[in-house]
Structure 1
């Protein structure tokens, strides 16, 4: 959290009154290090800087929740030097953790990494994680195998980079060494700065700790979360895995849209391949930046869009605004205003700190939306704009109106969202991991799991990881499978991402009758429970094992999903419930501590055949026979 001008430090008289809850230490940074007690933790704040005075304060917010504030004050404008916050978390009933999934701070590649490990590394091998406005959220959650929170630590800063490092250390009592870095990348002059850390050690389900953290971030920054149209909650169709770039043309899209609408999809995302790029195989993003419709593939694009929309389908286009291809017309104009070259794409990442770069990119997308009549954008590659590359390939001299790449990127995305919203109040904008920070949730209403085709475990894990730290609707990575796959195994692609919006991405003209029956039936069930699945209060279990089961409830609906063979113990089974067997076994086992009474159940296969209808007692230990990938409706 940044404060300009400086925030006034609490008075000593007030400190005396609240001594049980507040502690303040103020020393010049020339003293290099400070130690302060935060709950049961001894926290070290280190970093020498003669230009700033540093004040620390600790506040007990509620039982189990402490807030550490670091305040800096300079005589005039100065660039803060790095600050490192370290402490040791005792290893007491902690078996796993959730860490930012974004790039390692030491990575030299412009691409994200895919690490999903739940294992806490040893300290000497722990990799530092980089977070910023366009790279994940600045938090870590430590929990036990019963999904109970042991420590959720978070930083208030959502724009400037913050780094996290955690590793196991058996010295001085077995525990976890945590190190959080501030101002390692920021080079912005400032007079004052206020930064908060939230320490949550409550013995509650870790999902609740994360939801409370999200509320804290929103309050600290007064975030204005983007509007979510109802269509964002309904199933999507995406052309990416089905058609790839070579198969994108008016005829193919219209046919896929027609079939997808019959399945229950309400929006189509036309991915890469719609823009002019006749020899794009020579480089993935060679023509990015112009964003002009390929008139060979689409002789009348506006009429084509209207035709698809007449099917009651929303129409979205994929774009990657950060990438300027070397064969684009705009490249010559902007080539001296780039951050770095993305060699894998034969394209450059534009530097948003130049106002003319932001103006061009925002106006190009807004104009494209206005001219074509589309309903929104799938915006890709914004995580490539980050400070790790700010010192490379910059134009000589002045011209940049921001010092921070992240601040400039936030401004760019704000301009795009504002302009598109002015054209359509129900505009659909999708961002992807890893630019999922709460500050990003002001400019998009859908957040999608990073690419993981045909990977059930990763798609499940990424959607559930993202869901509890996001106000917006979470979308699964597009669903695709081998056309010869058996129908029960194919169904797992959808069943394991039920708590997110499905994006079908198989070639529907090649799908078997059984596959189409499965999609039709399961998407109908999904639509019936869509708001509960996307907006209900979710509790996810077995995060240490990439999730074993989930439950979510809202109003009179409950959905319970088994991803792995396990015993289900839902807190609720509202009067209209759905239980999903996302395993290869032919049963679900429940251990119900609450008597949910005698209920009518209907057991179905994944293609919609009714196996049986009966009344059963939902009390105590209950075993229900249900086919693999089948569902149970509870009334």
Structure 2
């Protein structure tokens, strides 16, 4: 699918971002960029997003992040966390779950694990300054399981984000069998393929974690979402797509169709400090059928920004079963899903992302329309006249724009719904 790139605007001055646990990069956009996808390599000084298939090459080409260079010696620094377990308990007391991030395939060049596991690696990644471990080695699996499980057993965290699992896959040399591992391999490999080793590693980690915490939370990321990995995770997250409402919508919809029993999480949402409430609402509407993740400083938001955020999170919570656990029908994939439909019995919900009519088929008692498009005239077609309906139109802040009992004697209904707003029909 071709990307339409708009003309870049002047870049605003960027204040130094606050460091956030588990966030590798924080890119700030100008107001309005979330809807119009006007991020370019010139403006952000980062290459444009590559196709999904090029992820490994993109990973290898980017500048090394210190977390990878030192990975496998990650520990809470006493000067920052003199009582890390106590810190975790205080976060949990707020009603939140605490997950720690781990890049499971790597042993950074400057870590003690790199020396301890020497000879049990698949290759060295010089640009990332890290070794790629061989999961077929029992020594590697025992080491990784011990380190990752310690976060749950010693510090009481609720789970782990297990990242970069897909990086274990290495392309064989030309003419070599597909299952053959290129380069070096551990002398104690106890299975033929790396895929089998990964399965053993994740199974051993899962058994260890559930022995301590049966309800452990484990997040995987888009790219490694096949059925063989479902038993070892509880949720899966969309791959990175910062400031792109369209890409976040497409990725979460794709995951809803392929993630089986796993909960689907969106890529964390960020926006410019001066972003309008309407566009914040549109960002949330773009991930309406997944679990939204918000990565902004809430204390820096103004009253309207917080109101828009609170309103749409409340909609997601109130209608969670309909939006996230029901039958999902993303329409027109070749157009990046301009309409997404969810149905749970007599309850029906639409995400409207383009000026297209909606078709409400069959019987319904509740119909929701989230309008994320600039066109405010929402048109709905029915296969039979719905009769009198209770109509409620709300703006992006949740304020009432219109409320009425409306007779609908025909099979079409047109209603003005503000951008970022919500239409609710009840019978």
Q: What range describes the TM-score normalised by the shorter chain of this pair?
A: 0.7 to 0.9
- 1: CA distance, partners of 2:305 / 2:161: 27
Offset of residue 319 of structure 1: 1.2
RMSD: 2.3
Aligned to 1:246: 19
Distance 1:417 1:449, change over 3 A: same
* Bigger CA radius of gyration: 1
Runs of 4+ off more than 6 Å = 242-245
1:336 equivalent in alignment to 2:109 = no
Offset of residue 557 of structure 1: 2.9
Offset of residue 598 of structure 1: 1.8
Q: What does the per-residue CA deviation read over 1:63-111, in whole Å, with 9 as the maximum and x for residues that have no partner?
A: xxxxxxxxxxxxxxxxxxxxxxxxxxxxxxxxxxxxxxxxxxxxxxxxx
Aligned to 1:293: 76
Distance 1:511 1:469, change over 3 A: same
1:558 is paired with a residue of what secondary structure?
strand
- 2: CA distance, partners of 1:413 / 1:461: 28
Aligned to 2:278: 488
2:98 is paired with a residue of what secondary structure?
strand
The residue correspondences of 1:113-128 to structure 2 (distance < 5 A) are none
Q: Which runs of 5+ in 2 are unaligned?
A: 4-14, 23-62, 173-179
1:314 is paired with a residue of what secondary structure?
coil
The residue correspondences of 1:143-292 to structure 2 (distance < 5 A) are 246-248=19-21, 283-292=66-75
The residue correspondences of 1:508-519 to structure 2 (distance < 5 A) are 508-519=298-309
Aligned to 1:353: 136
The one of 439, 442, 454 equivalent to 2:231 is 442
Q: Is residue 170–residue 182 contact of structure 2 (8 Å, CA) maintained in 1?
A: no
Q: What does the per-residue CA deviation read over 1:499-552, in whole Å, with 9 as the maximum and x for residues that have no partner?
A: 111011112121121111111011000001112211100111111100110111
Distance 1:417 1:356, change over 3 A: same
Choose between structure 1 and 2: higher helix proportion.
2
- 2: CA distance, partners of 1:385 / 1:321: 9
1:416 equivalent in alignment to 2:205 = yes
2:414 is paired with a residue of what secondary structure?
strand
1:447 is paired with a residue of what secondary structure?
strand
Choose between structure 1 and 2: higher strand proportion.
1
1:621 equivalent in alignment to 2:412 = yes
1:633 equivalent in alignment to 2:416 = no
2:248 is paired with a residue of what secondary structure?
helix
- 1: CA distance, partners of 2:243 / 2:234: 25
The one of 215, 236, 249 equivalent to 1:460 is 249
Offset of residue 337 of structure 1: 1.4
Distance 1:245 1:425, change over 3 A: farther
Q: Is residue 282–residue 419 contact of structure 2 (8 Å, CA) maintained in 1?
A: no
Q: Is residue 558–residue 573 contact of structure 1 (8 Å, CA) maintained in 2?
A: no
TM-score (norm 2): 0.81
Aligned to 1:600: 390
Distance 1:580 1:573, change over 3 A: farther
Q: Which runs of 5+ in 1 are unaligned?
A: 1-115, 119-241, 250-279
Count of residues paired in the alignment: 366
Aligned to 1:324: 107
Distance 1:284 1:366, change over 3 A: closer
Q: What does the per-residue CA deviation read over 1:603-634, in whole Å, with 9 as the maximum and x for residues that have no partner?
A: 11111111111122455121111111100122
Aligned to 1:533: 323
1:330 is paired with a residue of what secondary structure?
helix
Q: What does the per-residue CA deviation read over 1:99-131, in whole Å, with 9 as the maximum and x for residues that have no partner?
A: xxxxxxxxxxxxxxxxx669xxxxxxxxxxxxx
Q: What does the per-residue CA deviation read over 1:148-171, in whole Å, with 9 as the maximum and x for residues that have no partner?
A: xxxxxxxxxxxxxxxxxxxxxxxx
TM-score (norm 1): 0.55
1:366 is paired with a residue of what secondary structure?
helix
- 1: CA distance, partners of 2:124 / 2:310: 44
Distance 1:553 1:311, change over 3 A: same
